[in-house]
Amino acid sequence: MATTAQPVADVCAQAKQAARELALLDTATKNAALEAMADALEQRTHEILEANARDMDAGQEAGLQSGLLDRLMLDEGRIAGIAKDVRSIAALPDPVGETIEGHRLENGLDVRRVRVPLGVVAVVYEARPNVTIDCSALCLKSGNAIVLRGSSTASHSNAVLAQIAAGAVQWAGIPDGAISIVSGGDRDELRQLATQDGVVDLIIPRGGEGLKNALKEHATVPVLYASAGVCHVLVDASADLDDAVAITVNAKVQRPSVCNAIETLLVHGDIAAEFLPRALGELRESGVELRADVRTRTLAGEIGDSLAEATEEDWATEYHALILSVKVIDTLEEGVEHINRYGTGHSEAIVTGSTSSARAFSAGVDAAAVYVNASTRFTDGAVFGMGAEIGNSTQKLHARGPIGLRELTTYKFVIEGSGQVRE
């Protein structure tokens, strides 16, 4: 495995060489390497937990908020889950070499569009050590070399995970340099990584606006942003209120630190007086801090006077915590307009009993994942049957939504003939 003792350019050059070899590997070799990676994670769980404990102690001393500490924390169950995801990726069909489409021209040439790896993928991420393994496994299966740059917050966890993964797959026949990590503590290091033209084929950042802006300032290689999640649940006038309460609470409370948790609840005025006291009461019992507009405070019953006032900033904030903004709307169109203004294009949900409302919401909301009568918490590569994900893209070119195996490939045209020349 490439180490931080090497210059970034050397790490990337080694990854480029490994990528050429990876692109030619058969599926069986890649799958065996992934199984070896999963086994190594399970066998060395204690070592991983020791490293993670050091990061957790440092994070608590530094005053990291609870949502970030939750993302940072590993335990035996989470490590077992990470290993399980690696095995799920191994069991998926190999996208490399897949014929996307093909046809024969009138002159007899056979034209096929075939999936091929991207090459070298750099992933820049913050405070989520599971990303080290998820991304490495996805890149390996899709024939790409990976250069990892985690944050200093998770430096011990990331280092040991990358070391375990790289060692395991090399033992199984994967070339040295296929999985590399750089330290993550130096902004100049990020600039160097983002300017490896012709060597790094794609950078995928997973982090906040600061990371995103830093890459926008420096990057000269393509960037696929796995963006923030300002997500919403809209409760329509025709909604089943039991379902609406359950979906709202799940979408906020089940794991508030992740990008597919909701940050705003929109409630149609026709059912607000009946729905809000129930829903806000359950949310408050779950420890959620509520920030509401004037109409919500008026219609929320006994708890209305105790609700904090929502500000313009709240509508656009990803809290990563048990905080929820609430607004009453008069029409579905008003709700869609609010979502398209303040949302980040990640995951949006409507609870409704109306087919026409569901269709209007699905057509009108600009997001990678749109839910009808279900929680936004399902937006996840593993849940969608993709094994795992490198992130959730809110862009519209190349990949949108969970970034899995196929999203880590491009294609080439393969044309076969029998001596044809162009006249």
Residues 107-163 pLDDT 10s: 999 999 999 999 999 999 888 899 999 999 999 999 999 999 998 899 999 999 999
Provide the 3-class DSSP secondary structure of residue 180.
strand
- For domain 231-378, is the CATH number 1.10.443.10? no
Residues 282-308 pLDDT 10s: 999 999 999 999 999 999 988 999 999
CATH classification number, 8-226+390-416, choose in 3.40.605.10, 1.25.40.10, 3.30.70.3270, 3.40.50.460:
3.40.605.10
Are domains 8-226+390-416 and 231-378 of this chain identical in fold? Answer: no
For the stretch 7-38, what's the b/e string if a residue is b when 16 or more beta carbons lie within 10 angstroms of its beta carbon? ebeebbbbbbebbebbbebeeeebbbbbbbbb
Distance from C-alpha of 305 to C-alpha of 298, rounded to nearest angstrom: 8
Provide the 3-class DSSP secondary structure of residue 161.
helix
What pLDDT sits at residue 13?
97
Strand partners, 291: 308, 325
Q: Bigger pLDDT: 302 or 20? A: 20
What pLDDT sits at residue 5?
61
66, pLDDT greater than 90: no
Domain residue spans of the chain: 8-226+390-416, 231-378
Average pLDDT, the chain: 94
What is the DSSP code string of 252-307?
Answer: HHS-TTSTTSEEEEEEEHHHHHHHHHHHHHHHHHTT-EEEE-HHHHHHSGGGGGGS
What pLDDT sits at residue 6?
82
What pLDDT sits at residue 418?
97
pLDDT tier, 227 (very low <50, low <70, confident <90, very high otherwise): low
Residues 329-345 pLDDT 10s: 999 999 999 999 999 99
Pair of tokens at residue 334: 């008003």
Query: Do 215 and 248 meet the contact criterion of CB atoms below 8 Å apart?
Result: no
Closest C-alpha among 15, 156, 165 to residue 89:
165
What is the DSSP code string of 208-253?
Answer: -HHHHHHHHHH--S-B--B----EEEEE-TT--HHHHHHHHHHHHH
Query: Do 193 and 124 meet the contact criterion of CB atoms below 8 Å apart?
Result: yes
185, pLDDT greater than 70: no
82, pLDDT greater than 50: yes
175, pLDDT greater than 70: yes
Percent of the chain with pLDDT over 70: 98
What pLDDT sits at residue 183?
75
What pLDDT sits at residue 390?
87
Residue indicated by tokens 């070499």? 97
Please compute the mean of the pLDDT values over residues 391-416 and round it to a whole number: 92
Name the strands in the sheet holding 409-416, side by side, starting at the edge strand that comes first in the sequence. Answer: 99-104, 110-117, 409-416
What pLDDT sits at residue 184?
61
Name the strands in the sheet holding 202-206, side by side, starting at the edge strand that comes first in the sequence. Answer: 179-182, 145-149, 120-125, 202-206
Q: For residue 114, is it left (φ>0), alpha (ψ between -120 and 50) or beta?
A: beta
Can you give the pTM of this predicted structure?
Answer: 0.86
What pLDDT sits at residue 3?
43
